[in-house]
Each structure stands twice: as C-alpha cells, then as structure tokens.
Amino acid sequence: MSNRSRRSPDLPKAAVDALWQGNVIKAIKVVRQELNIGLKESRNVVDAYIVSQPALKKKMDKVLATAQRRFISWLVGFLILATGIASLVMYVL
C-alpha cells in the first residue's frame, strides 16, 4: 500500500480532464466518488498526480496566477467604486 503512494496515482479520466481545465475541486469530487475515499485522501491523490505531471503542474500554476490577477483587478475596481459612492454620499450630506 505504501508503494502505491510513491508512484504516480492513476486517476479517473473525468478527474484528469477536470485538472486540465484547471478545476481542482471537481477533480477531487470525482476521485472521492469513483475511488470511494475521504476528502483528505482524495486531495492527497490529486495533489500527488499534479506533482507527478510537470506539464499539468505548470498549467495549474498559470491558472492560479491568472485567478489571483483577476481577483486583484476586481478588488481594485470595487474599492474605486466604493470610494466614489462614499464621496458622493459625503457631498450630498
């Protein structure tokens, strides 16, 4: 059994497809359902698979970086909008 965790784990095709689309949560759900294991174990299996696949790891890093940039852009836009509304309210009062 410990030998299994050292080698690259075999994932269901649906989980691999979800990972290539950048959806780790969906991949974990698929692994949980198809392998009938718990959340922590399925997360470990998915993480081990990502580490064993350099091209996939690189893609996941890109997806994470893109998500972080989008979040920061959204947050800056929200703060600018909130500042504008606050200024308008202060002007009216």
Q: What is the pLDDT of residues 56-83, one digit of tens each?
A: 989 888 888 999 999 999 999 999 999 9
Provide the percentage of residues in the chain whose pLDDT is more than 90: 71
The pTM score is 0.65
**Residues 36-60 as b or e (16 or more Cβ within 10 Å = b):** eeeeeebbbbbebbbeebeebeebb
- Give φ, ψ of 22 to 5 degrees: 90, 15
| The pLDDT value given to residue 50 | 92
- State pLDDT tens for residues 32-56: 999 999 999 999 999 999 999 999 9
